[in-house]
């Protein structure tokens, strides 16, 4: 948890530092991606990547049909969201491996958690799946709000705002399921 909070703080500070210009300087162009933008895009992509297998487990293991249906909708929406994140990474000219995909961070289901979840069925699955999904969605909202507030590229901030709203709505659905 401390690692992610430190990373978010660094990203916010880098974003703020990128915005502090000397008097008379112009702000970065709307299409210029800052380090805050890239950090958010990579972190959100890694979160989506690690959660998609978890969402896929619900179809056959959930005890609640409404939870299984919600997981299926989330899986489709989050695959699309991941594609949008990756498209912006391409536009930002970010290449190579995403450094965050191998880290275990808050909201990101670990290999151990996924293995344990895959062994559950019914009500036990539903409880653990709901807890993991809640942590995942809350973290997505948190990092999207950080980007929305401190990002540089207008298109990254717009996607972050859209994702923040969508993930907050998904959290409400999860609570109701």
User: Is 96 part of any domain?
Assistant: yes
| Closest to 116 in 3D by CA, of 38, 165, 61 | 61
- 57 assigned to some structural domain: yes
DSSP string, 47-108: HHHHHHHHHHHHHHHBS-HHHHHHHHHHHHHHHHHHHHHHHHHHHTT--S--TTTTS--TTS
Residue 109 lies in a domain: yes
Residue 103: inside a domain, yes or no?
yes
pLDDT digits (tens, 9 = 90+) for 44-74: 999 999 999 999 999 999 999 999 999 999 9
Residue 23 maps to a domain: no
For residue 26, being part of any structural domain is answered with no
Q: What total number of domains does the chain contain?
A: 1
DSSP code per residue over 77-94: HHHHHHHHHHHHHHHTT-
Q: What is the pTM of this model?
A: 0.81
Structure tokens of 170? 């998904």
Q: Per the domain annotation, does 162 fall within a domain?
A: yes
Inter-CA distances, 44 with 49, 60, 101, 138, Å: 9, 26, 10, 12
Give pLDDT tens digits along the chain (177 positions): 444 443 443 444 344 334 433 333 333 445 689 999 999 999 999 999 999 999 999 999 999 999 999 999 999 999 999 999 999 999 999 988 887 887 888 899 999 999 999 999 999 999 999 999 999 999 999 999 999 999 999 999 999 999 999 999 999 999 988
Domain with 104, as residue range(s), is 2-13+32-176
pLDDT score at 9: 36
- Give tens-digit pLDDT for 75-87: 999 999 999 999 9
Residue 139 sits in a domain of what CATH number? 1.20.1260.10
Query: If we measure between CA atoms, which residue out of 48, 135, 28, 134 comes closest to residue 89?
Result: 48
Residue 20 has a pLDDT of: 38
Is 19 within the bounds of a domain?
Answer: no
């Amino acid at each position: 948890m401390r690692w992610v909070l430190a990373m978010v703080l660094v990203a916010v500070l880098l974003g703020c530092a990128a915005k502090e210009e000397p008097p008379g300087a112009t702000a970065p162009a709307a299409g210029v991606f800052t380090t805050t933008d890239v950090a958010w895009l990579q972190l959100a992509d890694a979160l989506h990547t690690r959660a998609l297998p978890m969402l896929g487990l619900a179809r056959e293991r959930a005890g609640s049909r409404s939870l299984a249906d919600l997981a299926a909708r989330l899986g489709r929406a989050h695959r699309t969201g991941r594609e949008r994140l990756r498209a912006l990474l391409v536009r930002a000219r970010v290449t190579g491996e995403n450094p965050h995909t191998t880290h275990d961070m808050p909201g990101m289901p670990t290999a151990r958690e996924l293995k344990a979840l895959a062994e559950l069925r019914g009500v036990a699955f539903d409880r653990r799946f709901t807890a993991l999904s809640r942590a995942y969605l809350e973290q997505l909202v948190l990092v999207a709000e950080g980007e929305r507030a401190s990002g540089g590229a207008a298109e990254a901030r717009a996607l972050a705002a859209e994702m923040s709203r969508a993930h907050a709505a998904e959290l409400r659905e999860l609570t109701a399921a």
